[in-house]
Amino acid sequence: MTVFPGFTLPDELRAIREQVRRFIQEEIIPLEQRLDPDAPEIPREDFVRLSGKTKEAGLWALGIPEEYGGGGLDTFSMCVILEEMSQHRMGLYVPGCGVFGRNPPPAIWAGSKEQIQKYAVPAVREGHETFWAITEPSGGADPAGAIQTRAEKRGDRWVLNGRKVFISRAHDAPWGVVFARTDKSKGRGGISCFIVEQGTPGFTAKPFKVIRTSAVPTDVVFEDCSIPAENLVGQEGQGLELAFDLLVKQRFPYSACNLGVAVAAHRMAIAYAKERSTFGAKLAERQAIQWMLADAEVEIRAARWLIWEGAWKADRGEDARVEASIAKLYSSEVLGRVIDAAVQIHGGYGVSKEFPLERWYREARVRRIGEGPSEVHRMVIARSLFRR
């Protein structure tokens, strides 16, 4: 979809955004209000019902290539849509509760036609979960040096041994991609990517609890886990290239979800300040509150511009690694500050489960770690400055 200079949105994209906005307000938010505030997902029958509606409306799998059953939107367009799609209680986990479809790990699109048809196409069509496993106990921010999981070629099979941690949904997703070291002597070039199916002997995933209630992380162990040779994705030794490509492309949509929830929290804070009175005046008349809201507005607008600029650059085929780090770093930290201000403005109600702010507050803390911690992104940005 063509985006014009100055980021004037095309009418088609504006129309899709409005459709998504109405769907979230009319279908998702009322449904969430009937569920437990910490519900990790919506009931299966509601998922089937609502995903049927999004398919009929042409809103299913918008970011997937058209030839594989998706809407074919580029990264920029998806960032615009995801800002709207994430504005609800579960929005920091799966925007729209998954009823708009889920994306399989981007690395799968570098696979063979057979792999795409066997794994990716059904995942897109059915909207089921997948996982991708790269983080290890020795550290996830430095995959080149931290990956110790090994993959050894034995005849017509690969045998995996090792451990991964903080792998979302690996305990129940039908399949996922795993990054393992195939040649110790080649450093960054000795890592490869593999498809591993649920139920494969030697593959176990045990969930554990963290601060958030959704996106259940798991501790994954591979013990002589034997998979077919054709489950290698791309070329041997290409794994790190695929991983970094995945991370860069994923960080813009990830950042857009941060932005969307920040927008929703900010909107709640403004509405509450206009209606709440203390000591004979509305909160909106208090300078302290005005400044909190003004600062949040400035940061939200700045985050949006950084996300849009980086996504636009990525869609043009330019190197957007630094822009991805900037967008992820800034949006995740802005999210935390905006929600914190909204909680403060709401007072006791801000930490009540009656409102989504309490859940967002906890989940926002995770966003400064997921997709690379803030410190690593600052390091990436700093290195780019010294290379100029």
- 139 and 227, same domain (yes or no): yes
| CATH code assigned at 182 | 2.40.110.10
**CB-CB neighbours of 117 under 10 Å:** 12
Burial bucket for residue 178 (CB in 10 Å: 0-12, 13-18, 19+)? buried
**Which range of residues forms the domain containing residue 67?**
11-103
Q: Is residue 347 part of a domain?
A: yes
Residues 261 and 235 in one domain: no
Give the bridge partners for 219, in sequence order.
206
* Residue 255 shares a structural domain with residue 216: no
Instruction: Check whether residue 252 and residue 335 sit in a common domain.
Output: yes
- Shared domain for 255 and 312, answered yes or no, is yes
Whether residues 92 and 170 fall in one domain: no
Helix, strand, coil shares of the chain as percentages rounded to 5? 55, 15, 30
Residues 221 and 203 in one domain: yes
What are the CA-CA distances from residue 203 to residues 155, 175, 219, 223, 365 (Å)?
Answer: 20, 11, 11, 7, 30
210 burial type by CB count under 10 A (0-12 exposed, 13-18 middle, 19+ buried):
middle
Picking from 225, 240, 255, the residue at the C-terminal end of a domain is 240
Cα separation, 39 vs 25, in Å, equals 18
Cα separation, 310 vs 319, whole angstroms: 9
| Pair 70, 63: CB distance under 8 Å | yes
CATH number at residue 378: 1.20.140.10
Q: How far is 174 from 162, CA to CA, in rounded Å?
A: 20
- Residue written as token pair 């940061």: 299
Q: Are residues 197 and 213 in the same domain?
A: yes
Q: What is the domain count for the chain?
A: 3
Q: Are residues 197 and 97 part of one domain?
A: no
Does one domain contain both 137 and 251?
no
Q: In this structure, are 250 and 356 located in the same domain?
A: yes
120 within domain boundaries: no
pTM equals: 0.93
In a domain, 113, yes or no: no
Structure tokens at 58: 């042409």
Kindly name the residue from 333, 358, 371, 375 that is annotated as catalytic: 371
One digit per residue, pLDDT tens: the chain, 388 residues?
545 446 789 999 999 999 999 999 999 999 999 999 999 899 999 999 999 999 999 999 999 999 888 999 999 999 999 999 999 999 998 899 999 999 888 888 889 999 999 999 999 999 889 999 998 987 656 666 678 999 999 999 999 999 999 998 899 999 999 999 999 888 778 999 999 999 999 999 999 888 877 667 899 999 999 999 999 999 999 998 888 777 788 899 999 999 999 999 999 999 999 999 989 999 999 999 999 999 999 999 999 999 999 999 999 999 999 999 999 999 999 999 999 999 999 999 999 999 999 999 999 999 999 888 999 999 999 999 999 7
- Amino acid identity at 331: S
371 is catalytic: yes
DSSP β-bridge partners for residue 253: none
Report yes or no on 6 lying in a domain.
no
